[in-house]
Amino acid sequence: MKHIVRAVAHWALMIHIYASMAGFTLAFLFGATGLALNHQDFGLSDPRTATTAISIDRQLLDHPNQAALERQLREQLGIRSSATDYHEDPGQIQMTFAVPGARTVATINRADGRAEIEKESRGFLGRLGDLHKGLDSGTVWFWTIDGAALLIVISSMTGIVTLLALRARRRTGFTVGALGVLTVLAIYLIWVPK
């Protein structure tokens, strides 16, 4: 029995160390961006907008083809990302290109082919904030966020198993853990609006 406990503790420690190191960069990123999101009053992610106008070939507007129109706008505006939203009305067409920290909206008047372009950028912290939330960041980043969450959960659980194996630190470790849980619950129950 002692051998099994020792083997479980050894493997928990190994998994804890390597899962923690594998997730270190992502945990650091999500911690730092969470802090920045919580304190947007730092002013480093305030939106900067610019508006311009371009002309769109009228033939593209008579019988609009979303792919052709998107290709035209991407070429004229120098946009690398795909369109994230498309709305077509009798009087206008609106296409949005969004990436973490920036958004470009093209509103095209179907009568005269004039397109009003509004570009919004929220800088480096805005980009990090959108990456933290997974906004407009694509499928791969979506799965990266899930991977980071799993690594944090694995690191936490193997840390508890490792703590179980450390007799001298067990009582203090679980006391601090319990105080952490009670503190979070108290903050939620007392100060979070319901």
73 with 117, same domain: the answer is yes
CATH number of the structural domain spanning residue 75 = 3.30.160
Cα–Cα dist 172/156, whole Å: 16
163: Cβ–Cβ under 8 A, 6 or more apart, which residues? 169, 170, 173, 174
42: pLDDT strictly greater than 70: no
CB 46 within 8 A of CB 36: no
Picking from 73, 93, 121, the residue at the C-terminal end of a domain is 121
* Secondary structure of residue 189 in the 3-state scheme: helix
User: Is 78 among the domain residues?
Assistant: yes
Q: Check the CA dihedral 64-66-72-74 and report its sign.
A: positive
Residue 126 lies in a domain: no
* Mean pLDDT score across all residues of the chain: 89
Final residue belonging to a domain, choices 91, 121, 151: 121
Please indicate, yes or no, whether residues 146 and 110 belong to a single structural domain of this protein.
no
Same domain, 67 and 36: no
Measured CA to CA in angstroms, residue 42 lies from 29, 49, 111 at distances of 18, 19, 43
Q: Is residue 59 part of a domain?
A: yes
Tell me how far apart the alpha carbons of residues 146 and 169 are, in angstroms, rounded to a whole number.
31
CA dist 146 and 29 (Å) reads: 14
Other beta carbons less than 10 A from residue 116's beta carbon: 15
Distance CA 14, CA 103 (A): 43
**pLDDT given at position 36:** 75
Asked if residue 191 has pLDDT above 90, the reply is yes
Question: What's the pLDDT tens digit per position in 90-125?
Answer: 999 999 999 999 999 999 999 999 999 999 998 888
pLDDT band at 4 (very low <50, low <70, confident <90, very high): confident
Residues 76 and 100 in one domain: yes
Same domain? 86 vs 108: yes
Q: Tell whether the model's pLDDT for residue 40 goes beyond 80.
A: no
Number of domains in the chain: 2
On whether both 31 and 86 belong to a single domain, the answer is: no
Residue 41 has pLDDT above 80, yes or no: no
Specify the pLDDT at position 35. 80
User: Which residue segment(s) compose the domain that 179 sits in?
Assistant: 2-42+139-191
Is residue 129, in this structure, part of any structural domain at all? no
Same domain as 37, residue 56: no
Give the pLDDT band (50/70/90) at residue 5: confident
pLDDT of 121-179, one tens digit each? 988 888 888 898 999 999 999 999 999 889 889 988 998 888 888 888 889 989 998 99
Domain boundary (121, 153, 176) is at: 121
**H helices present in 50-137, as ranges:** 59-62, 66-77, 123-133
